[in-house]
Structure 1
Amino acid sequence: MQQVAVIGGSRYFGRQVVRQLREAGAEVTLINRGSAPAPDGVRHLIADRDDARSLRAALGGREFDVVLDQVCGTPLQAAVAREVFRDRVARYVMTSTIEVYDPATDASITPSPPDRPVREESIDLANWPVRPELPWQDPAFRETQYGEGKRQAEAVFGRDPVFPFASVRSAHVLGGGPADFTGRLRHYVQRLRQGRPIDVHRVNFRSSFTHRHEIADVLVWAAGSDFTGPVNARAHGEFDVVELCARIAEQGTPAPRYRTVEPGATASPFAFDRYYGMDNSRAERLGYRFSRSADWLSGVIAEELAG
């Protein structure tokens, strides 16, 4: 029986990851700070993953075939995990994000042309600066540096690796009702129902998305595979904020009204003034087959409207 440790993952699509691992016959150990209970049949270890001593004490002598790290978001967290798990895991998979490609968060990242989705190698992890001295323990700083924290975490794991390491760079995850954990889809449904304007850019670019069930499935697939390095995870079929609002209105809300923000100002979620959609061909070459957003977007919107 495969031994899998999941760090975080007790909420949102993480619960589905745990469920699918169990259904596949794995023995799952959930590691978190105790903020949420483990599902039935899952071993629960309570530890501060930022603290090597706390994490090592909770693990005891346990070893794992795979660690699936759902919440690593800073180079400090990656360094702790690298130290603690180096002699007790055969494979380490980190959940990463499309935001590692966002040129708005680092001047060295070149925006992609709208007809050329970005590939994994566009981020040079081998030479990416890692800055552990930054205030990564400050929640406000981590929130504003989310993409950078993920980039640096991947760089820590990938350099001079002490175990086989892979990362799954997730597109924007969509789910409706309670599964809308970011609240972004809810933002649009509420504004359209209330007749309030949607803040957009003069030109809005498409981006990549994935269904919450799909990203859980990709992570389980990655845990059971043997590739290393990053893979992009997104459904086929990109769309922009105007297309999203039109699809919501088709299901019964008032037609959207738009308000253009000044260049450089913050617009609504999913309103992007640059393109950084992802190329998912590496994952497909490795054997994963992605969905088409056209097949599930209406259902996700219906879930949110009902919720």
Structure 2
Amino acid sequence: MQKVCVIGGSRYFGKLLVKRLLAAGHQVTVINRGSLRPPSGVEHLVVDRNDEAALKAALGDRTFDVVVDQVCYTPVQAAIAARAFAGRTPRYVMTSTIEVYDPATAALPAVAPGTPVPEESVDPATWPVTTELPWHDGAYLDAHYAEGKRQAEAVLTRAGGFAFASVRSAHVLGGGAQEFTGRLAHYVERLARGEEIAVHAQALPTAFIHYEELADLLLWAAAAEFTGPVNACSDGPLDVYGLASLIAAQAGREPVYRVVRAGGEASPFSFDRHYAMSNARAKGLGFPFSRSTDWLPGAVAEATAALTAEPSPTA
């Protein structure tokens, strides 16, 4: 049994992670602002992680075997966490994102077209950090999400108060209505109606992962000993045409595409830039991945059922 602290953990794969930890017999503490209560058997600390004094007061003299941070978005949040948890835990795992590799948001080392991006393309040990930027501003943070994650990883990598690992998640799908971004539902609904999907002329592939697989990987990472970033994605990257074709076939439809002009806004997961990830490091460390096409039909069925179950706007 381990003492595990989860920061966030109130929805989607974070909520599932908490359930997985409990099922594995771990002692779990969840820290969030109290919008949702965790399951029975979980210690719940209601505090704003952005308030360093309040966070330290809420933690008291607690110590943990590992901290899993689901909601660290900025270098300022990372610095607060580094100070608050130094000496309280020997291991800190942060959930990061595929967006750190988006070449539209940072100058990154060139990768040959079609080559899955490895972790070393973004090295948190050398990535520049600027805490003076307006990270507290919601609009600024939304516009600089990828950079916030890159800098948060950098701060925690250099903190030195614990061993640090980051899990760079691919685009997460599955779970029906739990998939709160609505990106898969966008395709399911439009394709079922025979509506156009806006795509780039030469759409490039990206990577995906099922929310249950990501929860399992985070559970594995919490108990592992590796440090540094690992990419978390199912085998088999897909471009928007492959994704739409799979969904359309399940609906008994033919997809209808509308090609956007260069630089134009397209549907979710249509990318004119390549940043499908390599999962070779996680595999080498012992985590087995599924294939995207193994679980996507089930995820599509869940999204379809969730849309069907929604009340009409006039109800």
TM-score exceeds 0.5:
yes
The equivalent residue for 2:144 is 145
| Alignment partner, residue 300 of structure 2 | 301
Aligned letter for 1:246?
A: S
d(CA) in 2 for partners of 1:55, 1:75: 17
Task: Give the secondary-structure state (helix, strand or coil) at the position aligned to 1:232.
Answer: strand
**Do structure 1's residue 287 and structure 2's residue 286 form an aligned pair?**
yes
Secondary structure of the equivalent of 2:125?
helix
CA positional deviation for 1:239: 0.7
Aligned partner of 2:25 in structure 1 is 25
Give the conservation status (yes or no) of the 8 Å contact 2:191–2:251: no
Residues 133-190 of structure 1: CA deviation (Å, up to 9, x unaligned): 1111111111111111000000001115211000000011111421222110011112
Match of 2:118? 119
1:120 and 1:110 mapped to 2: Cα distance?
A: 11
Deviation of the 1:241 alpha carbon = 0.9
- Partner of 2:268 in structure 1? 269
Cα deviation for residue 255 of structure 1 reads 2.1
Q: Are 1:207 and 1:240, in contact at CA under 8 Å, matched by a contact in 2?
A: yes
SS, match of residue 104 in structure 2: helix
Q: Amino acid of the residue matched to residue 100 of structure 1?
A: V
> How many angstroms apart in 2 are the aligned matches of 1:111 and 1:46?
44
CA distance in structure 2 between the aligned counterparts of 1:111 and 1:51, rounded to whole angstroms: 39
Looking at structure 2, the residues matched to 194 and 257 of structure 1 have their Cα atoms a distance apart, in angstroms, of 10
- Alignment check: 8 A CA contact 2:175 2:211 kept: no
Amino acid at match of 2:200: H
CA distance in 1, matches of 2:189, 2:202: 23
Q: Which residue of 1 aligns with 2:225?
A: 226
Name the counterpart of 1:131.
130
1:233-280: CA deviation from partner (whole Å, max 9, x where unpaired): 111011111111111111125322111111112211100001111111
Q: Distance in 1 between matches of 2:146 and 2:182?
A: 19
For the 8 Å contact 2:75–2:129, the answer to whether it is kept is yes
Counterpart AA for 1:139: G
2:46 aligned residue: 46
How big is the shift at 1:127? 2.1
Q: Is the 8 Å Cα contact of residues 117 and 278 (structure 2) preserved in structure 1? A: yes
Following the alignment from structure 2 to structure 1, what is the Cα–Cα distance between the partners of residues 256 and 105? Answer: 29
Letter in 2 for 1:172: H
Q: Structure 2 unaligned runs (5+)? A: 307-315
- Per-residue Cα deviation, 1:60-113 (whole angstroms, up to 9, x for no partner): 11000000000101000000000000011110000000000000111x114533
Instruction: Give deviations 1:116-140, integer Å, cap 9, x for gaps.
Output: 1111111122221111111111111
Is structure 2 residue 168 aligned with structure 1 residue 166? no
SS in 1 for 2:141: helix
TM-fit CA distance, 1:292: 1.0
Contact 1:198–1:268 (Cα < 8 Å) also in 2 = yes
CA 1:291 to 1:139, structure 2 compared with 1: closer, same or farther past 3 Å? Answer: same
Q: How many residues align?
A: 306
Which moves more between the two structures, 285-294 or 90-99? 285-294
Any conservation in 1 of the 2:92–2:162 contact (CA below 8 Å)?
yes
Q: Which amino acid aligns with 1:30?
A: V
RMSD: 1.2
Contact kept, 8 Å, 1:111 with 1:275, in 2: the verdict is: no
Q: Residue 79 in 1 paired to residue 74 in 2?
A: no
Q: TM-score, normalised by structure 2?
A: 0.94
Aligned to 1:22, the other structure's residue is in SS state helix
Structure 1: 5+ residue runs without aligned partners? none
